[in-house]
Structure 1
């Protein structure tokens, strides 16, 4: 790009360019969070639970039942539509950000440790997928992780 300048407007245009370059080089809050997440996950090993070698991880769970039925008395089966939610602390994910929490794409779970929860004596179950997987994933700035999924 070639710019022709007159002497009278030279300092104004240089000031405009320096302001523009500063604005372009200053990272936004989203870029800072993305950069921090990348830095956090750089040495993160998803195969190790949080606090490995220390106290066990406390995982708080809760189930919100949306609907239940029908119940088959003969086979003792029933169906249930519910939200299964889990909460735990992974201090490796603590962020130095101004926002209280960050909601992330569920694909981030492929890079993080999360509990392998099993329901004993469960028949069949599946994660609700219409129109897309009903999953929600959030990290608080102190490393508290909230994971929710709709199951049927």
Structure 2
């Protein structure tokens, strides 16, 4: 009886391991296929309407405030969302890209968002860049920093 249970346990472990490997392979193949003929230098629907980019931010803290020079520092989360029909895929879940040391614009088209009247703006770096890109099956992009 113990041998039967051991065999069942090992076979179910092997099945799960193979399933995970297949899932990883499927995601990698979809990612490669998405970017194969993708031109990151062209905005989505470049011959049509402009791209509607939704932006939101969460202020984490205010730093030094200099009322004389009208300057202040802010730490914040900054997120952008838009749709890029060229990145539609057939996965059942979102495809998440952690860009590591690469800036997202080296992978996909990204909006040229800026802060008006900003003295300087920087992306926070700890050990790697803080960029995560979620690509939903319908081509909806969520980029958070």
> Taking structure 2 as the reference length, what is the TM-score of the superposition?
0.79
1:103 equivalent to 2:96? Answer yes
Runs of 4+ displaced beyond 2 Å:
none
- Per the alignment, residue 63 of structure 1 pairs with 57
Structure 2: give runs of 5+ residues left out of the alignment.
1-16
Structure 1 residue corresponding to 2:128, chosen from 129, 132, 140: 132
RMSD: 2.2
Please give the residue correspondences for 1:45-124 in structure 2 after superposition, counting only pairs within 5 Å: 45-99=39-93, 101-106=94-99, 107=102, 109=104, 110-124=106-120
What's the CA shift for 1:108? 7.7
Structure 1: give runs of 5+ residues left out of the alignment.
1-22
SS at match of 1:92: helix
SS at match of 1:28: helix
| Alpha-carbon distance between aligned partners in 2 of 1:108 and 1:80, rounded to the nearest angstrom | 22
The size of the alignment, in residue pairs, is: 126
| Alpha-carbon distance between aligned partners in 2 of 1:121 and 1:108, rounded to the nearest angstrom | 24
